[in-house]
Chains A and B, each alone.
Chain A
Amino acid sequence: GDSVTQMEGPVTLSEEAFLTINCTYTATGYPSLFWYVQYPGEGLQLLLKATKADDKGSNKGFEATYRKETTSFHLEKGSVQVSDSAVYFCALKGNSGYSTLTFGKGTMLLVSP
């Protein structure tokens, strides 16, 4: 079945540092790929998505590129802020029937001033 593997956290960075959170997936066919973010005490929110190979999703300074050859969708940001502290979830959605989102286990990001 479909699965998503993302790096264990927490990831601890200083403000303005470069961020990478790795995500790889296993799926048949051509899934859509997502990053969701969960701020403390809140539900998840869609951060960005890509629906086909080589697409780049971007939002709020975050980027991720759909790499089919490496089955990866790594999240990057050039300069993190304290307000980026949250849990980040990589997810995929298969393209058959009533498939729903399959989430990775989440990676907590802690940014200190």
Chain B
Amino acid sequence: DTAVSQTPKYLVTQMGNDKSIKCEQNLGHDTMYWYKQDSKKFLKIMFSYNNKELIINETVPNRFSPKSPDKAHLNLHINSLELGDSAVYFCASSQAAGRMSNEKLFFGSGTQLSVL
């Protein structure tokens, strides 16, 4: 069983469209994250949720809206897609957040988003 699974694996879409990426973890973790990896492999945190509550929200355009219906799921919705949104988006989870976390992140295999 895949610990952190995200769908779709590939997403090709036109500028201006709205799209969603789904993420689920079956590890019983409390904290989930979204990271963006650009074409040069640079990895940047976007959001973090702990028990369905937003705890980290980096400087990300408000076209990006995360939603956590329960602590096992963290979806990412993107409105009005732009060319610069093309990247690989990784979902991750960890057992806890902050100082008490065990610091080990489990990553999904990524969603490659291409905006044309």
Q: Of A42, A87, A89, A97, which is within 8 A of B99 by CB?
A: A97
Q: Is B84 among interface residues, defined by CB-CB distance under 8 A?
A: no
Asked whether B92 is an interface residue with its Cβ less than 8 Å from the other chain, the reply is yes
Bound-complex Cα distance A105 to B110 (A): 17
Whether B105 is near chain A, meaning CB under 8 Å from some CB there, is yes
Q: Is the CB of A100 within 8 A of B41?
A: no
Interface size, A (range): 20 to 34
Pair A46/B43 contact, Cβ less than 8 Å: no
Query: For residue B98, which residues in chain A have a CB less than 8 angstroms away from its CB?
Result: 97-99
**In the complex, which range does the number of interface residues on chain B fall in?**
20 to 34
Q: Are B107 and A45 in contact (CB under 8 A)?
A: yes
B108 on interface, CB distance cutoff 8 Å: yes
- Report the nearest B residue to A101, measured CB to CB: B105
User: Which residues in B have their C-beta under 8 angstroms from that of A103?
Assistant: 42-44
Do B41 and A98 touch across chains, with their CB atoms under 8 A apart? no
Binary contact readout B31-45 vs A (1 if CB under 8 angstroms, 0 otherwise): 001000000111111
Contact of A43 among B4, B45, B101, B103 (CB under 8 A): B4
Question: Is A34 among interface residues, defined by CB-CB distance under 8 A?
Answer: yes
Are A100 and B48 neighbours in the complex by a CB distance under 8 Å? yes
Contact status B48-A43, CB under 8 Å: no
- Give chain A residues whose Cβ lies under 8 Å from the Cβ of B115: none
A106 to B35, CA, bound (A): 14
Query: Do A32 and B103 have beta carbons less than 8 Å apart?
Result: yes
Q: Name B45-72 residues within 8 Å CB distance of A.
A: 45, 48, 50, 55-56
Q: List 16 A-B contacts (CB under 8 A).
A: A41-B109, A42-B109, A43-B90, A43-B107, A43-B108, A45-B107, A46-B104, A46-B105, A87-B41, A95-B99, A98-B50, A99-B98, A100-B33, A100-B48, A105-B42, A106-B41
